[in-house]
Amino acid sequence: MTMTMAKKPTKLLTLAELPVSPVVFIEQEHEYFCGMDKLTGVTTMLIAVLGNKYTDIDPNVLRFAADRGTATHIAIQKYECEGAFNDDDLHGTPYEEHTPSALANVLDWQRVRCESLLSSWRTLGAEYLVSNEQDLASKIDLVMQDTADKSIYLADIKTSSELDVERTIWQLSVYAYLFTRQTAYKVNDNVLIIHVRNGICKPSLHPRKSDAEVEQLIADWRAGVTRAPEQPSVPAQLVQVGAYYAELERAIKEATAKRDEFRERMMQLMTEAGVDIVKTDDFTCSLVAATERKGFDYKRMMKEHAELGDLFGEYETTTQVKPSIRIIVK
């Protein structure tokens, strides 16, 4: 691929001003072709060099998660490119069952879009295909431009329960490398990761890898070099059950945060309205006045005044605790 000296945009661009890659993407097979030559996707290249984290997960679980993620991608991209996403946009597609989650995710994306620095950004296009026309190609989720300083940003949408920031930075850095060589436009040194799940959107900017680091990564891939650390041998079923548990814990944590937010809002509204109780067919909500709760620290008492133990001995109880495990969700 030939390219002129990369330059920073001095005006607001349109998608039509960006070169169209000659690479053809076959949707059904998720394959890229340049003429008769089959190219490798960036994600596949990264798996070859950095390893695959999902080898022990049930393929049906992965397919369900992938379809749910695709639904959210479609929702956000339609909102960015067409200004709206409707609840019938996925009708008749393989992703129709994921419409409720896609709607919840795009609604919070709209909120974040308006309330953050992203409010000054505009989207040039979605699924923009970049390639070196030799052996690598991929589609970029969103190509965006800051209307203030004209900088171009590349964004990737993630819907996984656990966000692999480092892997995604590598992914976007390779995209930036290919984008600059295809368009001759510089990409901002920061890349945007949009992590959206269960109706909560968390965009974050991260410094991308240098061109030299990307070139070394590609060279490693071409040479068959892997950087993936060796993983201890753990039964696949344990990994899968643990992943399910972590998913539940995150969902509970996010739902609890939402619940507490609405409880605070309800209390504020009732206080402002001077209402002590609200009764409907669905719920009853009552204001409870502030109180003072007292407790007794038995362990501290025994540590500092063991001689008093006999006075409370007849009230002491013993309970057998069943064996358990401790799980820390990262």
Q: Determine the Cα–Cα distance for residues 103 and 238; give it in Å rounded to an integer.
A: 33
Q: Where are the beta strands (DSSP E) in the chain?
A: 24-26, 31-34, 37-41, 121-131, 136-146, 152-158, 190-197, 200-207, 277-279, 284-286
Write down the domain spans for the chain. 15-231, 238-308
Q: Determine the Cα–Cα distance for residues 248 and 282; give it in Å rounded to an integer.
A: 26
Joined together, the tokens standing for residue 274 give 């001077």
**pLDDT tens by residue, the chain, 330 residues:** 555 568 999 999 999 999 999 999 998 888 999 999 999 999 999 999 999 877 667 788 888 889 999 999 999 999 999 999 988 999 999 999 999 999 999 999 999 999 998 999 999 999 999 999 999 999 999 999 999 999 999 999 999 988 999 999 999 999 999 999 999 999 999 999 999 999 999 999 999 999 999 999 999 999 999 987 765 666 767 767 777 777 788 778 878 888 888 888 888 988 898 889 999 888 899 988 888 888 777 778 778 887 777 776 667 777 887 877 777 766
Tell which residue, 143, 162, 171, 141, has the closest CA to residue 73: 141
Q: What is the pTM for the complete model shown?
A: 0.71
Tell which residue, 118, 98, 99, 120, has the closest CA to residue 109: 118
pLDDT of residue 249: 81
Q: Determine the Cα–Cα distance for residues 115 and 109; give it in Å rounded to an integer.
A: 10
Yes or no: say if 246 and 161 are a contact pair by the CB < 8 Å rule.
yes
Using DSSP bridges, classify how beta strands 190-197 and 152-158 pair: parallel, antiparallel or unpaired.
parallel
**For the residues of 87-129, what is the DSSP string, one character each?**
TTTTTTSTTGGGHHHHHHHHHHHHHHHHHSGGGGEEEEEEEEE
Q: Determine the Cα–Cα distance for residues 23 and 130; give it in Å rounded to an integer.
A: 8
SS3 314: helix
Beta bridge partners of 169: none
Q: Determine the Cα–Cα distance for residues 183 and 6; give it in Å rounded to an integer.
A: 8
Which of the following CATH numbers is that of domain 15-231: 1.10.3210, 3.90.320, 3.90.700, 1.10.10? 3.90.320
Q: Determine the Cα–Cα distance for residues 45 and 217; give it in Å rounded to an integer.
A: 9
Nearby residues of 213 by Cβ (< 8 Å), 6 or more positions away: 173
Q: Token match 């002491």: residue?
A: 316
Tell which residue, 107, 37, 96, has the closest CA to residue 71: 96
Beta bridge partners of 207: 190
